[in-house]
Structure 1
């Protein structure tokens, strides 16, 4: 059995780990991530959609050689979907077999059907168990703000003690705590009680230099001029009062699309025709399409010449 990669021993090593996974991080993010790993604390990442919060958990799992267990949150998420439930069909069959065999010991039947072999493990319970190689997984609790407050309250036990209580079985505690990453797009506020159990970091839009490094790393097929102009265009858009400013994910999608169209640089017509890759609301697209797109492209060229 191959040894799992060790946790980074310093902030610089954390930067290197993320870079090796294709994630261009600033030092503040690397610092809080290093501390979360060092202290065994969950990492709470907040920020706009598409800025790379989920990607951090994916890179951690990949570079540390651990499985990624993802719990995608949504309205109505409950314990049965997130933690565990009983295999009721198999339990009923077991009860029928016991009755057919003439067994009348109800206490024993109840003990049998509420045993581990009838337990269906959902993401959180899976994350409390070590893999066959003896490694704790990476647990990604994604977009927690989409879940109800009742489920958020349930997570307090999980995030503080890395355990869950199952009435029929008792308390199940992790032999080794998983690496936990919690993300939220801030569509609603998360309660302070949950945040106190985590180390917090706001993931902001990257500056132009870092975003250009991301594009160059993720979209190698784009020309140097196209990459620079795509980043400059997106950076300009984020200064405009749009319904939803494009995130890094949209920047990468747009750069990829333009490279597939064999564009070596931006031109107003192609920008207008491909805005649906970059912007996701019709009002935003209508505002930028046409003359406004041409104006931004012209500004980018003037800035490049002046620079």
Structure 2
């Protein structure tokens, strides 16, 4: 284990309890995947639709481990230099000018000083390797290019980074690694094989109500149930972007801020922008009628 707090978790159920204490409710499958990733010291690859709690798990795990969360947000065009390290050229230039003003003429000495560790700017991957303990979140790897994905696989294989001017930097103790993907594209099998894999589903009705009540204690059980029921039904619609748990929480928080006791069609209409972020989705739902969305009991198949 990486940390004495995590070592208290002798089973997936105990780890789930530790996560629960930090406000993250997870099912048995996710708790088991997380537990095994810690025990086996393997990266945890979380895949699923946006808003199901992938990033939040990494944040909560960092709290459980009492370790800093170091986040690498992936995007198209991300390269190794932006993820690893860079040289602080302005500071190097200032040092060079100061040396010249002081009359330093030893070129070899100046070159050595310019590439000293103090001028190295550590980016997320290098910071994670040098910080003990730490949780490294590689968020939305599916947004990065294939080349960066291959580079990340190399880093995760041995947790070492080569800096030509300084040599090889090896992690004293590898960070806990959580890799997330919204599956906007398929991630290569080589990276998945390096990790333990878990697909996150949207929560069941009962679990979503529990999440709302845990995160927003000001919301009544009735209001939490109404919002969770509506969110479950919205996910069954053919929408461009079905709401995730994050949107469910935003919707509930907005209703609480407005002092709403119930989720009725009028209140839903004026707060729809907190849960549906595309105009086409809002128009589709309004066309079908908000009353139909809110009418009836709990969704079938509640667990």
Task: Settle same-fold status: TM greater than 0.5.
Answer: yes
Q: Confirm or deny that 1:207 pairs with 2:209.
A: no
TM-aligned CA deviation for residue 15 of structure 1: 0.8
- Say if 1:115 and 1:209 are closer, same or farther in 2 by CA, change over 3 A: same
- SS of alignment partner, residue 246 of structure 1: coil
Task: Name which of 262, 272, 275 aligns with 2:272.
Answer: 275
Q: Confirm or deny that 1:44 pairs with 2:45.
A: yes
Match for residue 67 of structure 1? 68
Deviations 1:103-146 (A, max 9, x none): 2443x33222222121111111111113xxxx311111111112
Task: Name which of 229, 233, 248 aligns with 1:232.
Answer: 229
Deviations 1:179-237 (A, max 9, x none): 11111111111111111111111111011111111111111111111111111111111
Contact 1:268/1:290 (8 A) holds in 2: no
Alignment RMSD, CA only?
1.9
- Say if 1:265 and 1:194 are closer, same or farther in 2 by CA, change over 3 A: same
Structure 1, unmatched stretches of 5+, are none
Q: Confirm or deny that 1:266 pairs with 2:263.
A: yes
- SS of alignment partner, residue 38 of structure 2: helix
- SS of alignment partner, residue 185 of structure 2: coil
Q: TM-score, normalised by structure 1?
A: 0.91
Q: TM-score, normalised by structure 2?
A: 0.92
Contact 2:6/2:15 (8 A) holds in 1: no
Q: Confirm or deny that 1:160 pairs with 2:157.
A: yes
- Say if 1:92 and 1:225 are closer, same or farther in 2 by CA, change over 3 A: same
Deviations 1:255-293 (A, max 9, x none): 111122222222111111211111011111011126521
- Say if 1:220 and 1:290 are closer, same or farther in 2 by CA, change over 3 A: farther
Task: Name which of 285, 288, 291 aligns with 1:294.
Answer: 291
Task: Name which of 135, 138, 160 aligns with 1:138.
Answer: 135
Contact 1:272/1:293 (8 A) holds in 2: yes
Task: Name which of 223, 237, 244 aligns with 1:247.
Answer: 244
Counterpart mapping for 1:70-89 below 5 A: 70-89=71-90
